[in-house]
């Protein structure tokens, strides 16, 4: 008897597929019975034991079989038949793990190492529920029983002997942070939580800590809604009251076990009109989804799914990489303004961030925040945050090229498609007519490369003018003469016209062998200035002295 696991999760499958193959607790017993019946033959792997783990982020089958080589396809076919999905689509998005790999995977899942939120504690409880349901359905035998008991012991050891959960950023915390990016502080916001399960309770607890104006809980069972609302000092309503009540809420967080959406496009449309287009954030933590995906297209509505929040969590977990990304974003903005003020990063090989146009650029950045010209939340935005705000129509302008421009004009990605223009970044009266910074990254070959010739051929190929021109709609060409080629300009005349102006005055980023270190120095000091923790003069003097030590 051998163990085999088949599954799909947030890493292997998109949300629209994951939500179609979930098994709610009431379905598990029947599914296990059918699984054991259909796959008991040798063609099905001679299956004798089975358990189903089904959560927001994964559906996995753990089985004991005699013929593991036949079981993978049979398990995929079983799920496809049960849930009405295409077998090939499911096989492409799933993974089959033989005995030892399946054991290791179960250990990782229960310990929170394979979760969307690294170290999150809920998954262990979900696996214990899966074990209990499988036992009640008669799906556990000697092999799976031993697997689960050993898995629970390993998970307990991992959590007690390491700090795996100490720094995890939960979905709930990510949801709070996303709302604060849009509304700022939440003291004046009215919040609605749809559902009364563990995930909603966790989210509501995080939001309640921000002391919102009001909290309301909606649930099919009013008693459960009252119980949660009482703990949160809020009020309860029936789920059936949702269509008439939605207009009152600035933030809606939903996570129910419904197999169909409970918040539809029409319901949200009516609420937005009645709110006179005041923004509303809708966070859908459910799988299958509680909110119709079409809601995302509505003006003044910010819809985030569990995968969107997972992306935020991933960024937070990769804090160092996120800091570098943020550093580059803020340095691009700063560099463009330095060019506008005709400043320099270096003079005679020495950094001069605290002089002339380099200092004037920071003064402008600080003043634009004070004047309300710049969104104060943008101090913490990454590039993707900026894109979403801009594509929702909540910013007059953004600083970027093809990435921002093309997606903002894509109806699938933007609410302002067809309304977005592009011009060179403006200059400063009396100093410059336009401004630009070179956002390109260099390509190089390491000194110890064993394939230097092949690497050079590849670099030569992707930087050649024909290849650059072919993909000009994805990324601007590096060849100046390409901007006079009608084929390159076709369909993106405004973009090419603006780029042609900018490429003639392109300002380079700081040129230094220690660019990563310098980037972090600038980011840190620019952030302190923009957060009001230092004056422009103080911050840039500190940056200059730190940069001097790099040389």
Other Cβ atoms closer than 10 A to 98: 15
Which member of 56, 63, 179, 255 is catalytic? Answer: 56
Q: How far apart are CA 113 and CA 121, in angstroms?
A: 10
CA distance 13 to 95: 10
Per 3-state DSSP, what percentage of the chain is helix, strand, and coil (rounded to 5)? 50, 10, 35
Reduce the DSSP state of residue 281 to 3 states and report it.
strand
Neighbours of 64 (CB within 10 A): 26
Provide the token pair at 168: 């995890």
Q: Which of 326, 327, 318 is nearest to 517 (CA)?
A: 327
Strands 58-65 and 47-54: antiparallel
Instruction: Please confirm, yes or no, whether 56 is among the known catalytic residues.
Output: yes
How far apart, in whole angstroms, are the C-alpha atoms of residue 207 and residue 210?
Answer: 5
* Cα dihedral value 332, 334, 335, 338, nearest 10: 160
Q: Which of left, alpha, beta for 265 (phi over 0: left; psi -120 to 50: alpha)?
A: alpha
In angstroms, the CA 196 to CA 485 distance is: 60
Chain-centroid distance, C-alpha 377: 18
Q: Is the dihedral of CA 105, 108, 113, 116 positive or negative?
A: positive
Q: Which residues are annotated as catalytic?
A: 56
């Amino acid at each position: 008897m051998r163990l085999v696991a088949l599954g799909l999760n947030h890493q292997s499958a998109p949300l629209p597929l994951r939500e179609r193959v979930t098994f709610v607790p009431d379905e598990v017993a029947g599914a296990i019975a059918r699984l054991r019946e259909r796959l008991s033959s040798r063609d099905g792997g001679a299956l004798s034991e089975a358990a189903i783990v089904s959560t927001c982020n994964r559906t996995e089958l753990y089985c004991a079989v005699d013929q593991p080589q036949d079981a993978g396809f049979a398990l995929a076919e079983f799920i496809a038949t049960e849930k009405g999905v295409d077998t090939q689509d499911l096989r492409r998005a799933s993974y089959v793990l033989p005995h030892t790999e399946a054991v290791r995977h179960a250990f990782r899942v229960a310990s929170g190492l394979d979760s969307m939120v690294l170290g999150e504690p809920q998954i262990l409880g979900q696996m214990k529920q899966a074990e209990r349901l499988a036992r009640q359905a008669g799906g556990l035998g000697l092999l799976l029983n031993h697997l689960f008991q050993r898995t629970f012991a390993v998970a307990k050891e991992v959590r007690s002997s390491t700090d795996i959960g100490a720094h995890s950023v939960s979905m709930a915390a990510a949801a709070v942070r996303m709302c604060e990016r849009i509304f700022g502080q939440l003291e004046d916001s009215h919040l609605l939580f749809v559902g009364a399960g563990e995930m909603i309770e966790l989210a509501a607890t995080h939001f309640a800590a921000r002391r919102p104006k009001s909290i309301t809980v909606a649930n099919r069972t009013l008693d459960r809604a009252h119980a949660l609302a009482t703990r949160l000092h809020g009020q309860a309503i029936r789920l059936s009251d949702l269509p008439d009540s939605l207009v009152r809420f600035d933030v809606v967080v939903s996570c129910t076990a419904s197999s169909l959406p409970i918040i539809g496009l029409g319901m949200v449309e009516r609420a937005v009109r009645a709110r006179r287009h005041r923004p509303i954030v809708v966070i859908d933590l459910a799988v299958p989804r509680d909110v119709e995906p079409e809601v995302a297209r509505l003006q003044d509505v910010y819809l985030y799914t569990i995968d969107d929040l997972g992306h935020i969590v991933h960024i937070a977990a990769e804090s160092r990489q996120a800091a570098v990304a943020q550093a580059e974003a803020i340095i691009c903005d700063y560099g463009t303004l330095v060019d506008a003020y005709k400043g320099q990063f270096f003079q005679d090989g020495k950094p001069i961030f605290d002089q002339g146009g380099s200092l004037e650029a920071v003064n402008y950045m600080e003043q634009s925040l004070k004047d309300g010209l710049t969104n104060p939340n943008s101090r913490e935005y990454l590039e993707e945050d900026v894109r979403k705000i801009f594509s929702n129509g909540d910013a007059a302008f953004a600083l970027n090229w093809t990435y921002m421009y093309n997606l903002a004009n894509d109806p699938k990605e933007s609410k302002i498609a067809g309304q977005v223009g592009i011009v060179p970044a403006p200059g400063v009266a009396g100093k410059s007519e336009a401004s630009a910074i070179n956002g390109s990254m260099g390509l190089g070959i390491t000194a110890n490369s064993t394939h230097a010739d092949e690497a050079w051929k590849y670099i030569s190929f992707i930087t050649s003018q024909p290849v650059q021109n072919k993909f000009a709609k994805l990324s601007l060409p590096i060849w100046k003469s390409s901007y006079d080629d009608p084929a390159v300009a076709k369909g993106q005349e405004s973009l090419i016209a603006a780029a042609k102006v900018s490429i003639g005055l392109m300002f380079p980023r700081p040129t230094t062998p220690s660019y990563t270190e310098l980037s972090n120095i600038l980011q840190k000091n620019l952030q302190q200035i923009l957060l009001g923790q230092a004056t422009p003069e103080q911050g840039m003097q500190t940056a200059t002295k730190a940069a001097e030590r790099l040389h």
